[in-house]
Structure 1
């Protein structure tokens, strides 16, 4: 058998080149998918290509994990009572994902080689949301929120429909996750019922693909200014101002590999038609599966914007199926919901210490941002409509953006470093001040700074 890996040495890791080939192949296949005359043919094409992509880029039998886990979930929702099936599915899917992470750590500790765990993480979101949607479909309509009604499904899809949903190829490898209801409406044509034919999405797909290509030069720059430099003796010896800048700069560059992958993946989803998200001013929009808005992430004035515009599919899943579900019916999410959500997110990512350091500190950063909005922001706005008091509100926003960007990048370094020891090396180069400032700010704002009397209780964060 011919080993094609020897022909794919272009200076990048072979696994990443194979991954890119699959994403590029999705564009012509997406045009075919969009034009297939019936739903069954669309399901079959997605299944065949999803399995083929997995075998080609991640290993000959890597697709077996997705087949086993999805089949077990399908059996669970068929044999268990609807009122509890979603809980068993959540436990099983997260358990399978966890076992996969442990295996990954055993065979490639601290490594970044691509394997089956990447699509398995996306699949975990799809399988758990599928079970929740079925559960919501069995509940009284009066108990559901508007969003839950929209996402709910009344009956279990056929096995062919289900596997088509599992292996939907434009987003199978890199995400984002998709909802079962959206997928079924897409393949049945119901999503485009207001049109005689499916509207053209070629220009929107090309625009998204070009945005991905624009990220590539910065991605390659990240190969020179690596995160690994941040825990070297050379970095610790640099002047403070240079350490502050380089810490921010190196982490920003590391994000462009995600921007590149998500844009290219989204482009093929748009081309397939699955990204259709209704009409705006009579013009079709194609942002249903948008997974990131880089400028809003990099220039965010608060952590809410970062959470909203980074890995949007996962953020939506965490909000819809974890954060809001942890709050008792009729109550608003509390600090416990925030901690629980970040804990699930860390658990979903894996078991390296760096993940848990990042998400615990992010939970504190989220709560600090909430308190700043409640207790500090009112001094920079006036009236019931929160009219900005200029130029002070502008200064508040600029300083907020700088602080958000730097602190989130500092804590995010542990997410990329993975190691507890190396995280401490980075923290030591800043005399441990950033985490001390964060925790200190939390207690000062939460327990010492009073809320302005005219300020109503606000649960959203800045």
Structure 2
């Protein structure tokens, strides 16, 4: 350990985490410099230099080599392989490289939470695989693509300077979120800002950037507080002897506070990206500029969601969008309904992307059933709480339905989310035992009842009720 690491560690946090936070803060003045550079090549070079520098300083001297090698091989594969299956090869290669990285991490730091090259490698995997799909889509006729796929497709392989500028885009390289190659190239070339209002100039994003930074600083005290409520307390055998109401409350508090660590990192990254200008996302209906192109989380929605779909849509949005666009929808033929297999495969890839600790697979297996239960609840139970074609809420029943849905959704998410944080299965089983396995039994039995026993209401029933009332 260096003298600097020892000094930083004296503040009560691991030196690697403090270094990463310093890099996130340093990205703000550098992001302002990035937006002022006069041409795309200078922007690419600054991104490459700072991305490698951040990785070297905060994660280790040679940690950047992994991102460089995996990116270069992916680029080479896309150069030589036919477009009809090159994206599948790159997808398999990137997940394979990441998997080996995860195994190496388990071997060298089992059950540890130190930061290393696997963090940026996870984000890079999203970027490289989406890039491969975008290039493959660019070789297909427009009538075979959705409007979203057409917008993201690229017709030719970018040059190496453009490619590595995309790889090492420094505002989001360490903590995410992921970005798409089309957005990056449109940003660096100025194409993103070529409309009648902007006329090629990046709009002023100082205040939106500072607002996002303010959100990050606001949640930081909760990051400190999470250290006083370690999630491992939930796996202690003594936890099972506490009163039931206290266990229900504590499991939510301990897991919910852990999420603020993610909120902090994502807000800090997003703020500098917004300052650079890449967060520009068009205009609202009122004509105001939107800066949410790479927004990665909406904390209030996550913390008060009434179903897991809302959580999936508002938590780690970049990764969720990647899973939806490049896994879920690719397994769902156009015009057909999503299947249980597509849902299961999507969560399996998500678990595979996170690593190989059993806790990840426990969480995502449970999330599969939670998602399916939410779908069935919407089809078979919710119609009794709304009426008419416009689904007007029946009050106060609908409000009670929403409140119960929020409480159950958040608690089940915390219960199974604890497994994600425990990492191993032994701690998860200890937690389940403290509740006599009741949450698992309740989830599976509800799935069976909704899927195979309770019938779907007749679609015209709400309409009939509405006509009688009118």
Is the shorter-chain TM-score for this pair beyond 0.5, marking a shared fold?
yes
Tell me the equivalent position of 1:259.
263
Counterpart of 2:424 (choices 416, 419, 427) is 419
Tell me the equivalent position of 2:314.
309
Tell me the equivalent position of 1:203.
207
Tell me the equivalent position of 1:373.
378
SS of match in other structure, 2:138: helix
- Per-residue CA deviations over 1:266-288 (Å, capped at 9, x if unaligned) read 00000000111011222211100
The yes-or-no answer on 1:47 pairing with 2:48 is: yes
Work out the CA distance in 2 between the residues paired with 1:248 and 1:213. 23
Tell me the equivalent position of 2:220.
216
Work out the CA distance in 2 between the residues paired with 1:135 and 1:390. 50
Tell me the equivalent position of 2:358.
353
Q: Residue 378 of structure 1 contacts residue 455 of structure 1 at CA under 8 Å; is this kept in 2?
A: no
The yes-or-no answer on 1:403 pairing with 2:408 is: yes
Query: How far has the Cα of 1:3 moved from its partner?
Result: 4.0
Matches within 5 A, 1:172-211: 172-194=173-195, 195-196=198-199, 197-211=201-215
The yes-or-no answer on 1:7 pairing with 2:7 is: yes
Tell me the equivalent position of 2:58.
57
Tell me the equivalent position of 1:288.
293
SS of match in other structure, 1:138: coil
Q: Residue 374 of structure 1 contacts residue 455 of structure 1 at CA under 8 Å; is this kept in 2?
A: no
SS of match in other structure, 1:285: coil
Work out the CA distance in 2 between the residues paired with 1:274 and 1:185. 9
* Aligned residue pair count: 456
Q: TM-score, normalised by structure 2?
A: 0.96
Query: How far has the Cα of 1:7 moved from its partner?
Result: 2.9
Query: How far has the Cα of 1:11 moved from its partner?
Result: 1.3
Tell me the equivalent position of 2:153.
152
Matches within 5 A, 1:225-236: 225-236=229-240
Over 3 Å off, 4+ runs: none
Query: How far has the Cα of 1:455 moved from its partner?
Result: 6.2
- Per-residue CA deviations over 1:113-165 (Å, capped at 9, x if unaligned) read 00000000000000000000001111110011111111111111010000000
- What stretches of structure 1 of length at least 5 have no aligned partner? 457-462
The yes-or-no answer on 1:383 pairing with 2:388 is: yes
Work out the CA distance in 2 between the residues paired with 1:4 and 1:238. 43
Work out the CA distance in 2 between the residues paired with 1:381 and 1:215. 37
The yes-or-no answer on 1:120 pairing with 2:125 is: no
Tell me the equivalent position of 1:143.
144
Tell me the equivalent position of 1:459.
none
Q: Residue 208 of structure 1 contacts residue 266 of structure 1 at CA under 8 Å; is this kept in 2?
A: yes
Query: How far has the Cα of 1:233 moved from its partner?
Result: 2.3
Q: Residue 237 of structure 2 contacts residue 430 of structure 2 at CA under 8 Å; is this kept in 1?
A: no
Matches within 5 A, 1:28-43: 28-43=29-44
Query: How far has the Cα of 1:235 moved from its partner?
Result: 1.3
Tell me the equivalent position of 2:467.
none
Tell me the equivalent position of 1:268.
272
Cα pair distance change 1:288/1:371, threshold 3 Å:
same
Q: TM-score, normalised by structure 1?
A: 0.97
SS of match in other structure, 1:453: coil
**More off after superposition, 415-424 vs 323-332:** 323-332
Tell me the equivalent position of 2:130.
129
